[in-house]
Structure 1
Amino acid sequence: MSDAYAEAGVDTHAGDLAVELMKASIARTHGPQVLGGVGGFAGLFDVSALRSFRHPLLATSTDGVGTKVAIAQALDKHDTIGQDLVGMVVDDIIVVGAKPLFMTDYIACGKVVPTRIAQIVAGIADACAATGTALVGGETAEHPGLLGPDDYDVAGAAVGAVEADAVLGAERVRAGDVVIALESSGLHSNGYSLVRHILKQRGIGYSDTSDDLGGVVGEVLLEPTRLYTGALARLLDGTAGGSVHALSHVTGGGIAANLARVLPVGSWVEVDRSTWTPHPVFQVLSDWAGSTLASAEGTWNLGIGMFAIASPDAVDQVIAELDGQGIPGWVVGEVSTSARDLTGFEQGAKGVDGGAVRLVGSYS
């Protein structure tokens, strides 16, 4: 029957080799809390440390990296997609103030190429290690006939923990709180369907060199998602941690919508565009599309990967601590609850009845 399975396009031996190649990478993320190693039916994680919590809550998140994988496949470059995956999943968990505990991944592919799978998983493991997350398991599934031999997609899920009275969110935000933008590394992992459409319309290939972008187009577009969890976890544990009231991960939906989700109903923020200059990649793509940066504010992060909302007296300390960990930040606005006309504001998003946000001014 195994020969028949191979004839159907599934190579179980290749799958076994892929597991062997990725074992060392995964092991680097394991501490004493991980039991059983790699290859079991389920990952085991010792959560007895949660007994020291007064009221522990578990936080969970799942995501993928979207059509960014098409560029990795086109360039046969697979060592950054793993970081994108971890960023998209784990950085959602820190938003509620939770520290990540463990993560699992899922890779679906048309054909298991062991070295390629190992590269993807190595990227996941490196990013897990950087964010203090144990990679406790995963699955690689071969789908011949459904996916092409060089096609794959990745997804992941993670679990974290937070004290019930330390959960961050809109209920902590007050009028006068200051909105701090945290710099992105580039496009991160959202809006790539638009990116790919622009390149197709312009007849630009991923392997082409662009003077405007300053390098090979696909390599610039594969700049990995910045990881915020480690730095933010250390910030929340420090003296300024109690002054951080909410965080927002700027992913699908863009700048205003994601910030609105963590603001209380009845509040509003005007984000001042003049406080930052979007990365060149955004301007170049907008120019190629014949559009403006403002028209992409609901699709791309335009240089802001995360927001932190903090009390005014802690702003300088928050910015200094994060900058010291390699994440530049700057003030973009202030939370207000005064009465005003909210026409033109983004109000809530993704089923959340949040506050109202709009971008004002011109980019510097």
Structure 2
Amino acid sequence: MVSTTKTTYKDAGVDIDAGNTFVKMIKPLVKATTRPEVLADIGGFGGLFSLNTGKYRNPVLVSGTDGVGTKLKLAFMADRHDTVGIDLVAMCVNDIIVQGAEPLFFLDYLATGKLDPEKGAAIVKGIAEGCVQAGCALIGGETAEMPGFYADGEYDMAGFTVGVVERDNLIDGSSITVGNRLIGLASSGLHSNGYSLARKVIFERMGLGINDQLPGLGRSVADELLTPTRIYVKSILNLLRDFQINGIAHITGGGLLENIPRVLPHGCKAMLDRNSWQLPPLFRLLQEGGNIDDDELLRTFNCGIGMVLAVPEKDAEEVLIRLSGLSEQAVVIGEVAKCEPGKECVEMV
């Protein structure tokens, strides 16, 4: 028998009015990220960005996409949603700056079971802040309300960025040579990698709760683990104007052991001095709390180093001085050496 009661999309769990309210709430956040090349406000079917080709001789577009991973679980537990958007932008723009590309624009995808406009606006606030830090424009995105697909109060998100670099200035690691110094830029914490292991150690092995104090750190689990990923774009663009940077590695999943080799040319290896930087207290706590061996720690977490630059030996000191002036904590963590066939590409000394 066919029911005579009218059924609406809202009855099925999708609230179009809430979506419209959400768009109105985020418009001023998006506007704060605009650049002169942006041609339209959000709301269209596609974001419009006019590349000033007269500014470049031979431009190469560089793109990157990523998510935040299980760090979102911490946001759900703490009911804090205004910083994970920074993480989202950071994971994308930090990936393309390693090739020398200036991020131009960013788009996001946010999916949830039931849209909460205020929570969604907090998320976009973080995304907008990340775009401001990176100097790119938030020109669009997609919000998907998918009832029954996500647990109550949970969501997932992904991001996408496009940048530009002159072909002659593209950084691919091919100019790295033996003797280059490796400069490590400090991370702000775990960034957005290794959270599955971190959650297992903190919540299962150590028995802590989201609002409990981390032993010896003086901060709660939420405060420490929700610290947003550092965005290195403006500092690296500043360096590129005056220094030769032969290679850059973003230290994400795989840690130092797997990310540095991605930029090393054949026949080269990274010799890292483990005593050149201090392992931050959070990583030491995780290692001790989970009985994690050194190799596993270095392969899972950034261990306090979020970005690694390969620079000529003669420039290393000046690069460090410049980075200090840009409020980056940086130190020479090793050098590039000759690698024999079949040997490891990273050696800890």
Please tell me the residue identity of whatever aligns with 1:322.
L
State how 1:1-364 maps to structure 2 within 5 Å.
3-47=7-51, 49-198=52-201, 199-237=203-241, 239-240=242-243, 243-337=244-338, 340=340, 343=343, 345=344, 356-360=345-349
- Is the 8 Å Cα contact of residues 173 and 264 (structure 1) preserved in structure 2? yes
Q: 1:285 to 1:333 in 2, by over 3 A?
A: same
* Partner Cα separation in structure 2 for residue 151 and residue 272 of structure 1: 42
* Partner Cα separation in structure 2 for residue 67 and residue 144 of structure 1: 21
Question: Larger deviation: 167-176 or 221-230?
Answer: 167-176
Give the % identical residues.
Answer: 42
Unaligned runs of 5+ in 2: none
Please tell me the residue identity of whatever aligns with 2:124.
V
- Is the 8 Å Cα contact of residues 111 and 148 (structure 1) preserved in structure 2? no
Please tell me the residue identity of whatever aligns with 1:171.
S
Q: 1:29 to 1:340 in 2, by over 3 A?
A: same
Q: What are the superposed Cα offsets for residues 56-97 of structure 1, whole Å, 9 maximum, x if unpaired? A: 100000000100001001111011101111110001110000
Measure how far apart 1:2 and its partner are: 9.7
Q: Find the residue that maps to 1:122 and give its secondary structure.
A: helix
Measure how far apart 1:249 and its partner are: 0.2
Scaled by the length of structure 2, the TM-score of the pair is: 0.95
* Partner Cα separation in structure 2 for residue 34 and residue 61 of structure 1: 19
Q: 1:219 to 1:33 in 2, by over 3 A?
A: same
Question: Larger deviation: 317-326 or 221-230?
Answer: 317-326
* Aligned positions, number: 344
* Partner Cα separation in structure 1 for residue 213 and residue 71 of structure 2: 19
CA RMSD, Structure 1 to Structure 2 (Å): 1.6
Unaligned runs of 5+ in 1: 346-355
* Partner Cα separation in structure 2 for residue 293 and residue 268 of structure 1: 19
Q: Find the residue that maps to 1:205 and give its secondary structure.
A: coil
- Is the 8 Å Cα contact of residues 267 and 340 (structure 2) preserved in structure 1? no
Q: 1:111 to 1:331 in 2, by over 3 A?
A: same
* Partner Cα separation in structure 2 for residue 180 and residue 332 of structure 1: 6
Q: Find the residue that maps to 2:289 and give its secondary structure.
A: helix
Question: Larger deviation: 287-296 or 130-139?
Answer: 287-296
- Is the 8 Å Cα contact of residues 271 and 337 (structure 2) preserved in structure 1? no
Q: Find the residue that maps to 2:263 and give its secondary structure.
A: coil
Q: Find the residue that maps to 1:210 and give its secondary structure.
A: coil
- Is the 8 Å Cα contact of residues 267 and 341 (structure 2) preserved in structure 1? no
Scaled by the length of structure 1, the TM-score of the pair is: 0.91
Measure how far apart 1:202 and its partner are: 2.8
